[in-house]
Structure 1
């Protein structure tokens, strides 16, 4: 979201008990305001444009946005607090996430590099993993929809998100052209792989300050996305390898968000096939496949304990085998007794 201004005269002064402080930005569906509760709590309020208020399909999609955002883990997105209607215009009240967008930050401070770029990649992949785990395709991953909050990046704006079990049909390409995947320009069914292509473009912007594809006409932009590859020389390894894999023209060749995250942090999550097809070397830090799911999911493996030699829980010898005696000063791992 861009722009900070006071509400226009025709906009409401209050929405759902919240006082409108200023306008934060606007998109194709609605206007986003900074609201404040009497106790001082600040929230973000997205109100549907008045011209769409009578359109039942748009209202249904707007309500669906709230349902989708509410289904995603709150560490990845702004938490939805409530929904309602203001003079027949639906609105969504969500947690206010302070901070500039990634697009605004890069414009002001320049491209990211080194550890800062890798941390951005890890946190945004974590957010996408959570979004996809909820059965959602964001469809508009771009620098403007990544808020650089004090606690870390947060993905916002599910205005054109698609639930994988959705039965409604939306025709025509939707998204921001420079960051859209090839299949978003066709009639192919969209999967989380589309977000991975857009994520790769977002990382290119973060590293260079330039969009992955640029052209003066829509036709030229489409040709670039379908037939060319962006310059990845500014992106360090191993991130460059993952970005290249996510830019594969075939959605089936792109790694999943969780796989890319695992490989970036040193596990065996990402598939090697996309990287091999891209002509890039496999990383040397690959761990056994049985290890990485525990690392990423936060699971832990119980530490192997030494067998107890006394008390009611002592290890019992198998029938026909004599237990090794243990004397004070000896170790309880099979050491023979000292004379």
Structure 2
């Protein structure tokens, strides 16, 4: 969390800006307070996308769909204005680090935490898919960590940039290390594409590395298409078996979320008393909650 800069507006829509939370490929993210006093994460689209009429149309459609997504593992959309000079969307604020930041700072997650992570991601995808949305860019930086479980963000937003300035400049949708083979080849993308990305996200949490390694995007995409994922750090048994089948090259060979949930629900989970997150992550969440209360 960073303080606002002199160039930041005091308000976006009816929401008062409090601090900067970060920035991504689509724009700036702010901590804001709604008129009724609640905190929200407000994402403002950057200028080059704001001038693209096709993006605006897609962004509006995705917002309407995203408003239908309601579940314990998906922060709700609380407000949006796709027609503003700089389009924006506000969601419930989750005062936790991303999975990416938590693993890079504290190392891989233990097996009990991995079980809750996988189960929560599968439930989030089940909720998202039930609303007719395919996430298309599920990755560790799009998973926020909360005591109540992982929180999947930015669902459906990747679709809004299809056919806009991003693709016209040759950029690839999705993140290479977690992109499904069918996204690479330009074939039809279905909910099972998200299943592939979900498995890659769990592998990262277990190892600190994506399943097909790091490096130049072209080399990573080649391994996604033809290489075998590295799964030796994923605990043996259900978690590793599920990761292997979810990372199948053929989407028809991957399980759907119903089957994933059935298998994961049989695993023992950490007690509510001790929580599911490693203690350093819980400490980070406490610090962020204190920061947000002071903002």
Please, what TM-score do these two structures have when normalized by structure 2? 0.81
Deviations 1:92-115 (A, max 9, x none): 122111111111111222111221
Q: Pick the aligned partner of 2:142 from 140, 145, 170.
A: 145
* Aligned CA-pair RMSD: 2.2
For 2:80, the equivalent position in structure 1 comes to 83
Would you identify which runs of 4 or more consecutive aligned residues in structure 1 move more than 6 Å? none
The alpha-carbon deviation at position 33 of structure 1 amounts to 0.6
Q: How does 1:31-180 map to 2 (within 5 A)?
A: 31-37=28-34, 40-84=37-81, 88-158=85-155, 160-162=157-159, 173-180=172-179
Structure 1 unaligned spans of 5+: 268-339
Is residue 134–residue 156 contact of structure 2 (8 Å, CA) maintained in 1? no
The alpha-carbon deviation at position 155 of structure 1 amounts to 0.3
Structure 1 Cα separation of the partners of residues 82 and 188 of structure 2: 33
Is residue 44–residue 87 contact of structure 2 (8 Å, CA) maintained in 1? yes
Paired residues, what number? 260
Compared with structure 1, are the counterparts of its residues 56 and 207 closer, same or farther at alpha carbon in structure 2 (3 Å cutoff)? same
Deviations 1:33-67 (A, max 9, x none): 10024664211111111233222112222223322
DSSP-derived class of the 2:87 partner: strand
Deviations 1:276-308 (A, max 9, x none): xxxxxxxxxxxxxxxxxxxxxxxxxxxxxxxxx
Deviations 1:186-217 (A, max 9, x none): 12110011111111110110101111123432
- Is 2:26 aligned against 1:18? no
Q: Which stretch has the larger CA shift, 11-20 or 186-195? A: 11-20
Structure 2 unaligned spans of 5+: 268-295
Structure 2 Cα separation of the partners of residues 43 and 219 of structure 1: 37
For 2:243, the equivalent position in structure 1 comes to 243
Is residue 201–residue 211 contact of structure 1 (8 Å, CA) maintained in 2? yes
